[in-house]
Structure 1
Amino acid sequence: MEWQEVNGNWVYIPQYHTGIVHFLGGAFVATAPHVTYRLLLEDLASKNYAIIATPFVNTFDHTAIAKSVHQSFDRTIEQLRAKSLLRRRYLPIYGVGHSMGCKLHLLIGSLFPVERAGNILISFNNFAARDAVPLVEQFSGAFTVEFTPSPLETISLISQRYQVKRNLIIKFNNDNLDQSLALRETLDKRFPGMITSQILKGSHVTPLGQDFKWQVSSVYTPFDALGQWMKQEVYRDLHQLKQEMLRWLNPLAINN
């Protein structure tokens, strides 16, 4: 089992799969999600989820990005079925997004007719352009530059048109970029009793945890102790995130 590129998407399909995860990453790490989110995605695949991770390049037109990644995902599903790589005709599809990837899944679920068993929204970010892009106002001169849709328009759109009823919202306790509170309030009003939220230990970059090697020197030093401690902390937070995601995806599964 290994990553393969299909129609511009990075796909990882275990031999036995019970569902599909459509993954969208954060704004500046989304161009190679199979690399930047490898540990997280491969662990989901090991629990029998087919992974389709759609890369994208960030622009100010988030509506256009959402349309593009949605169409790319649908074409990839068709190709995988045509090649019999997806073994069953019907498989539940879950959207999983991190940071800006959350906004894109929310836009997809608001603008297009989609069938989703649910969405997992990690570290939702909905900043205005002047806050998300350093010095944007200085470079834009007399013109006002803003994302499309704007933060207020995004929340309004979700509150009126978002179709995916079952959602897991995950916030980390050391994340000053997270804006999940406003999202939780909006979704609670739209789908009362259907929204689950979790506050986990970690930061905005916890989903990006990588399998790094710490080479201990012949003489054990305080730097070796610090490196091993950092590795344990990163893995512990990432492991907790994966466990909560898997528990929500399949509450009856036994997570090892």
Structure 2
Amino acid sequence: MKRCIKSFIVVTAVLSVYLLPNELFAWGQTGHRAVAEVAEHHLNKKAKKAIEEILGDSAYLPIVSTWMDDIKSDKKYAFMSPWHYFNIDKGQKFEDVERNPKGDILKGIDDMTKVLEDENSTKTQKARAIKILTHLIGDLHQPFHVGHKSDLGGNKVKVTWFGKPSNIHRVWDSDMIGSKGLSYTELAKFCDTATKEEVAKLQSATPKDMMFESHELCTKFYQEVGEGKLGYRYIYDNYHVVERRIMEAGVRLAGILNKALG
């Protein structure tokens, strides 16, 4: 069953490159699945076994990686909406940020990690925690998920992408990834280049460390928008950052799951 599901996702991901508009090639589809695929390669045996027991036939991280986006239209999950990001406005320090009382990406990651580590958590609670963590670790590594509150993480920063209207958040969410026409497995294969030493170093980072990395990158990319006419040169200059962040997210997701479930 699991093999059939994997094959179906690969086929649909490849077809979607040709059949769907660029807006759908978000970190929330191809990118998120690539993050999850990288994580699959770095899970230890205990974590893999635990995930199989918890998720059953869906025990393949790319399957569940987009769950948090899939349920956005369901009002009962509306409380999770602020969990996808952490806003730091221009010139603001982390210590001065007024945390959202409804939660944010750091709190979501912390809460779900605790659920996995708690022996008293039910299988249902752990299954949801795996789905949420798989998604949020990916989101945390997209620079503009730690963007300015004033422009909704770059969503209000209008640019053109090969002459068509877009915004800088979408460029990083989907436009650059979509321009490559890769399936998530191909993207993951290109990204997953970390050495054992690098894996250990990456997995030593805390979610707050990951957040600061994205904020630093985001600050740089805000400054480099210029006139906002983006295309081939922008891909040439920045696509390696997309690959790097997907790799880092996947390796770190595996580290979190290994520690919580291993």
The TM-score normalised by the length of structure 2 is 0.30
Q: When the two structures are superposed, what TM-score results if normalisation uses the length of structure 1?
A: 0.30
Higher helix share: 2
Q: Which has the higher contact order (CA 8 A, sep 6+)?
A: 2
